[in-house]
Amino acid sequence: MKRIVDNKKTFLWLAPAALLAVSACGEYVGTKQSAFSDKQEAATAQTFTAELRSLNATLLPSEGEATVEAGEGTFQVDIEMRSVSESTHRQSLIRGGCPGMALDTNGDGIIDGSEYSAGDSVVWDLDDSLEDTAGESVYPTGDASGSYTYSESIPQMEEAVMAPDVSSGEYSIVIFGVGDSTELPETVRGERADIPVACGTLEQETQDEPQGDEGQMPDQGQDQGQQDQGQQDQVQQTQHQQQQQHQQVQQTQQGQGQQTVEIPEEDDSDLDTIIIE
C-alpha cells in the first residue's frame, strides 16, 4: 500500500512538469512558425529606390528621391522632388538607363524634347491613377517653393492591370517639365513639357539576412529555446540543492540518534602480582 501512495505522489509531481514541457514546446513551435511566416510575407514585397538627379542643371537643379515597392498584390510609388518649376511635371517609368549629355546634339548644354524622347521605353505613366491606363493623365505640379510630393499605388492586382516587374531588368524614373518662368535659349527645340529635368535608376534595397546554417531556427526561436533551457537548468539546480539539504538533515538525525560508549581504562592495581623465582 505504501508503494501505491508513493507512485501517486510521484505522478502528481510529474504531471505539472509534463504539462509545462508540452506548453513550452507548443509555444516554441508557434514562435518558430510565426517567425518563418513573417519572413515569408516580407519576402513577397521588394523595395527599389532611385536618387533623382538633375539632367539640365543650367535650367533647374532639380533633385529628389523615388521609392517603388513591388510585390504580390502591391505596387506603390512614392516620389519627392525639389528645385522644380511651378508647372506640371510628367513622370514616366521607363525601361533602360537615364539619358546622358551625349544626346545634346546641338551642343547648347541642354537636353531638350527634340533631342530626347522616352518613346517606346515608357512602360508606366506615374500619374494620379496607376490602374487607369486609358483615361486622361493628371500629373503633379510644383508649388511656390519648387517642390512636390507624389504617392500612388495599385491596391489590388487584376488581370487587366499588370504592373511591370521592375526586378527583371533595369528601370528608371524620368521627370519632365519646365515652367514658363524659366528662360530658355533660342537653341532649345520642342515643348517645355517635354524637357527632362531629372532622372534616377531604380536599385533594389538589400536586407541583412540572419547568419546561420539552413534549417536553423530564427532568432526569435533561438531566444525562446535559450529561455526554456535556462528555466530547465534552474529547476534542476533547485532540485539538486533540495536533495543536498535533505541528505544533510538525514545525516544530522543519524548523528543525534547514535550513543557514545566509553570503555573504562583498566586499573593495574587490582591485578594479582605473580612472582616467578
**Confidence category of residue 48, pLDDT binned at 50, 70, 90:** very high
- Give the count of beta carbons closer than 10 Å to the beta carbon of residue 56: 22
Grid coordinates representing 222 are 533561438
Per-residue pLDDT, averaged over 59-71, amounts to 94
CATH class (in words) of the domain with range 43-204 = mainly beta
CB of 77 closer than 8 Å to CB of 150: yes
Domain ranges of the chain: 43-204
**Confidence category of residue 189, pLDDT binned at 50, 70, 90:** very high
What does the angle CA 36 – CA 38 – CA 40 come to, to the nearest 5 degrees?
A: 65
What does the angle CA 26 – CA 9 – CA 229 come to, to the nearest 5 degrees?
A: 30
The beta-strand segments (E) located in 7-73 are 45-54, 63-71
List, in order, residues 6 or more apart from 49 with CB less than 8 Å away: 65, 66, 67, 68, 202, 203, 205
**Confidence category of residue 125, pLDDT binned at 50, 70, 90:** very high
List, in order, residues 6 or more apart from 260 with CB less than 8 Å away: none
**Confidence category of residue 5, pLDDT binned at 50, 70, 90:** very low
- Give the count of beta carbons closer than 10 Å to the beta carbon of residue 126: 23
Residues linked to residue 40 through DSSP beta bridges, in sequence order: none
pTM of the model: 0.60
